[in-house]
C-alpha cells in the first residue's frame, strides 16, 4: 500500500522550508478542476495561500481527460458532484482538454491575481 500523499498544507509548509533554506520555489496548481476549483474566488484563495508561504512563482493548468483517467474522474464527479458531468460534456465536447478560450481565461485570471499579489506567474 502506498503512503498517503502530503496534504496541501503540508506541501505549503515544505515550500516555506525550501524558501527559508535559500532556494527558489513555487506552486503548480495543476490540474485546476472546472466548476470546482476554477472560480476567481478559489484561484484567489489558492494563489493567496502560495504567496503567504513564500512562493516565488505560481502557474496553473486546466484538467485534461484522457484514457481510463477520464472514466475514473467521471465516476468521482458522479459521486461527489452529480450536477457536473453534463457541464463537463459541454465544456470538453468529447476532447481531452477544455477549449483554448477556457484555458486562456484561466491563465488571464490567474495572471491578474498573481500581479495583484505581487507574485510571479510562471517560472521564467
Over residues 15-58, the pLDDT tens digits come to 999 999 999 999 999 999 999 999 999 999 999 999 999 999 99
Q: What is the average pLDDT across 60-64? A: 97
pTM of the shown model? 0.89
Cell representation of residue 5:
500523499
3-class DSSP assignment, residue 32? strand
pLDDT at 123: 85
What is the third-level CATH fold of 1-63+100-124?
Rossmann fold (3.40.50)
pLDDT above 90: residue 3 = no
Domain locations along the chain: 1-63+100-124, 65-97
H/E segment holding residue 58: strand 57-62
* CA–CA distance, 19 with 15 (Å, rounded to integer): 6
Cis before 31? omega within 30: yes
Amino acid at each position: 500500500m502506498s503512503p498517503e500523499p502530503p496534504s496541501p498544507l503540508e506541501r505549503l509548509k515544505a515550500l516555506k522550508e525550501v524558501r527559508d533554506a535559500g532556494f527558489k520555489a513555487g506552486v503548480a496548481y495543476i490540474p485546476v478542476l472546472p466548476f470546482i476549483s476554477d472560480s476567481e474566488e478559489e484561484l484567489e484563495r489558492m494563489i493567496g495561500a502560495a504567496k503567504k508561504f513564500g512562493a516565488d512563482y505560481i502557474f496553473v493548468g486546466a484538467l485534461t481527460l484522457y484514457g481510463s483517467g477520464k472514466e475514473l474522474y467521471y465516476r468521482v464527479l458522479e459521486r461527489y458532484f452529480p450536477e457536473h458531468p453534463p457541464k463537463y460534456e459541454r465544456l470538453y465536447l468529447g476532447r481531452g482538454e477544455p477549449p483554448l478560450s477556457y484555458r486562456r481565461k484561466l491563465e488571464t485570471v490567474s495572471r491578474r491575481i498573481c500581479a495583484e499579489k505581487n507574485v510571479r506567474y510562471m517560472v521564467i
